[in-house]
Chains A and B, each alone.
Chain A
Amino acid sequence: MGISINNISKSYKNVKALQDISFEVKEGELFGLIGPDGAGKTTLFRILTTLLFADNGSATVAGFDVVKAYKNIRNNVGYMPGKFSLYQDLTIEENLNFFATIFGTTIEENYDLIKDIYVQIEPFKNRRAGKLSGGMKQKLALCCALIHKPKVLFLDEPTTGVDPVSRKEFWDMLKRLQQKGITILVSTPYMDEAELCDRIALIQGGKILDIDTPQEIVKHYPKPIYNVSANNMYQLINSLNDYEFNHSVYPFGEFVHYTDSRIDFNPEDLKAYLETKKLLNIAIEKTVATIEDTFMELAK
């Protein structure tokens, strides 16, 4: 009764936005769609919220078919698009009242659902939406998407461009909504947010690269992976890129994540090579793959 997606494809002229996508989101699940701009995330959201027809395939949301029962879906889902889409000339309170009225309800009726979030913006309820900060707009948009007590909530990149503190607060809010029984499909380009979901789908170029829990997905990484560091990051990256046995070389914070193409890789060989490149303080240590490593390996 959550979301069921079966072999959905969609093209725009010569761009294949979605290619044969299938997956299920269970009722009450917090499911993350993780991928960069242009991966097809927004196209999928628009199909599931009945704003766009797929070329092929079928999908149901909260048990309703996205084509045949589109009206039922519109009454039962909340959608927060990536672009701020509320009325800029209406105040916070007017926007919220407007959306409540459209859905035949009132702010009071479902106040408990939005209370946590609304109290944070209530002091500014007479301010026009166009004059709010990014964080406040985001909270208002979430309130408006929730005001009719939807069964399924769609959030398209709610945290893009938002600072880490506001991002953390936003994810705490999502967890509380999930506890109230709402199924949530959320997309994000931030790989670190993937860990906060029950399950994730990695998506790029209109294709699903992998689907699993964040804990399991990193176990799909096929190779031993090493943290390499030295005194000069730029020279280290160049030297590793020039090394004939490298499989992947990616900067990761203060380290470079390195994998080797050989099965019998001995880190001492790499160390000896880096020493010939005049690098100092070389350290090579085994590490564990992150979701981002897994994404990059699959997207390669």
Chain B
Amino acid sequence: MNNDKVIQVEGLTKMFGDFTAVNAITFEVEKGEIFGFLGANGAGKTTAMKMLIGISNPTSGKANVAGFDVFTNAEDIKKNIGYMSQKFALYDDLTVKENITFFGGIYGLKRQRIKEKSNALIVELGLEEVANKLVGSLPLGWKQKLSFSVSLIHDPKIVFLDEPTGGVDPITRRQFWELIYKASHNGTTVFVTTHYMDEAEYCDRVSIMVNGKIEALDTPKKLKEQFKVKNMNDVFLKLARE
């Protein structure tokens, strides 16, 4: 595998009975890239993402994620990626520290390493005051920033973010994106789905899925030029309304 390509997908397909949820998608994502994975509800994004993170077996095609084959090494993929979604993030009944320790343990980090990581992370996010409070009592925006940082605790090559910023206020949403930029700057690949089209513009490249196929894939700038529109929202509307 080419070292700079942390995700390589070729003709990846998933069928449920007669229904083709993901129809022979092909793309590559580079190390440190922020890759936006867009599509209408029901276009096949979640199904595609489940195959890439090793929790759903593809029907056909090829995919290599973080150096591992999705067919034969799904377990290795899980160890080498981070995952965060709005729906499942942290345990509300555990404190900030307990959550960090728990996820550090799940990913097999040594006790000393968890302690170091935990302290660094709490300082970085400014959570010193609430480190021993239950996560359930924190504002949504804090939870999401913490959840993102926890998804990076084992220094994964890639982090998958499934609609990470839904419902968050605009200032916190931007602080969240600054964390994403930082992770990318440090060499972590960020694979992100979102319904906020202004966030699509923050990505290095964006793919748009329509009815199971990737119908467009390029930098936001080139996509806007290609469709002769001013913003990504209009690109999306033009493509997905066809």
B177–A133 touching, CB < 8 Å: no
B5-13, B66-74, B191-199: which lies at the interface: B191-199
A38 CA / B201 CA spacing, docked (Å): 27
A253–B240 touching, CB < 8 Å: no
A122 CA / B196 CA spacing, docked (Å): 30
A161–B42 touching, CB < 8 Å: no
A296–B233 touching, CB < 8 Å: no
Q: Residues of B contacting A167 with CB < 8 Å? A: 195
A296 CA / B197 CA spacing, docked (Å): 18
Q: With an 8 A cutoff between CB atoms, is B113 at the interface?
A: no
Q: Residues of B contacting A295 with CB < 8 Å? A: 170
Q: Residues of B contacting A37 with CB < 8 Å? A: 140, 167-169
Q: How large is the interface on A (under 10, 10 to 19, 20 to 34, 35 or more residues)?
A: 35 or more
A36–B197 touching, CB < 8 Å: no
Q: Whose C-beta in chain B lies nearest to the C-beta of A295? A: B170
Count how many chain B residues have C-beta atoms less than 8 Å from C-beta atoms of the other chain: 38
Q: Identify B237's interface contact among A168, A250, A251, A292, CB under 8 A.
A: A168
Q: With an 8 A cutoff between CB atoms, is B181 at the interface?
A: yes
B181–A233 touching, CB < 8 Å: yes
Q: Identify A36's interface contact among B168, B177, B195, CB under 8 A.
A: B168
A166 CA / B140 CA spacing, docked (Å): 25
Q: With an 8 A cutoff between CB atoms, is A192 at the interface?
A: yes
Q: Residues of B contacting A163 with CB < 8 Å? A: 39-41, 43, 195, 236, 240
Q: With an 8 A cutoff between CB atoms, is B50 at the interface?
A: no
> Known contacts A162-B41, A164-B195, A233-B181; is A253 also within 8 Å of B174 by CB?
no
Q: With an 8 A cutoff between CB atoms, is B184 at the interface?
A: yes
Separation in Å of the B17 CB from the closest CB of chain A? 15
CB neighbors of B among A195-247 (8 A)? 204, 233-234, 237
A229 CA / B178 CA spacing, docked (Å): 15
Q: With an 8 A cutoff between CB atoms, is A135 at the interface?
A: yes
Q: Residues of A contacting B185 with CB < 8 Å? A: 234
A254–B40 touching, CB < 8 Å: no
Q: Residues of B contacting A299 with CB < 8 Å? A: 169-171
Q: Residues of B contacting A190 with CB < 8 Å? A: 196
Q: Whose C-beta in chain B lies nearest to the C-beta of A253? A: B201
> Known contacts A162-B41, A163-B40; is A251 also within 8 Å of B174 by CB?
yes
Q: Is the interface of A mostly helix, strand, loop or mixed?
A: mixed
B178–A251 touching, CB < 8 Å: yes
Q: With an 8 A cutoff between CB atoms, is B231 at the interface?
A: yes
Q: Identify A134's interface contact among B41, B163, B184, B237, CB under 8 A.
A: B41
Q: Residues of A contacting B40 with CB < 8 Å? A: 163-166
Separation in Å of the B242 CB from the closest CB of chain A? 10
Separation in Å of the B192 CB from the closest CB of chain A? 14
> Known contacts A189-B167, A192-B233, A299-B169; is A251 also within 8 Å of B41 by CB?
no
> Known contacts A37-B167, A253-B201; is A234 also within 8 Å of B182 by CB?
yes
Q: Whose C-beta in chain A lies nearest to the C-beta of B233? A: A164
Most chain B CB neighbours (cut-off 10 Å) among A165, A166, A292, A300? A165
A254–B201 touching, CB < 8 Å: yes
Separation in Å of the B215 CB from the closest CB of chain A? 13
Q: With an 8 A cutoff between CB atoms, is B202 at the interface?
A: yes
Q: Residues of B contacting A261 with CB < 8 Å? A: none
Q: Identify A252's interface contact among B139, B140, B198, CB under 8 A.
A: B198
CB neighbors of B among A152-176 (8 A)? 157, 160-168
Q: Residues of A contacting B196 with CB < 8 Å? A: 190
Q: Residues of B contacting A168 with CB < 8 Å? A: 237
Interface string of A178-192 (1 = CB under 8 A from B): 000000000001111
Q: Whose C-beta in chain A lies nearest to the C-beta of B224? A: A254
B184–A161 touching, CB < 8 Å: no
Q: Whose C-beta in chain B lies nearest to the C-beta of A163? A: B40
Ranked 7 nearest A-B pairs via Cβ: A253-B201, A36-B169, A37-B167, A234-B181, A163-B40, A234-B185, A165-B240
A sample of 28 inter-chain contacts (CB < 8 A) reads: A36-B167, A36-B169, A36-B172, A37-B167, A37-B168, A37-B169, A39-B169, A161-B163, A162-B41, A163-B41, A163-B195, A165-B40, A165-B237, A167-B195, A168-B237, A189-B166, A204-B169, A234-B182, A234-B185, A237-B181, A250-B170, A250-B174, A251-B177, A253-B202, A295-B170, A296-B170, A296-B171, A299-B171
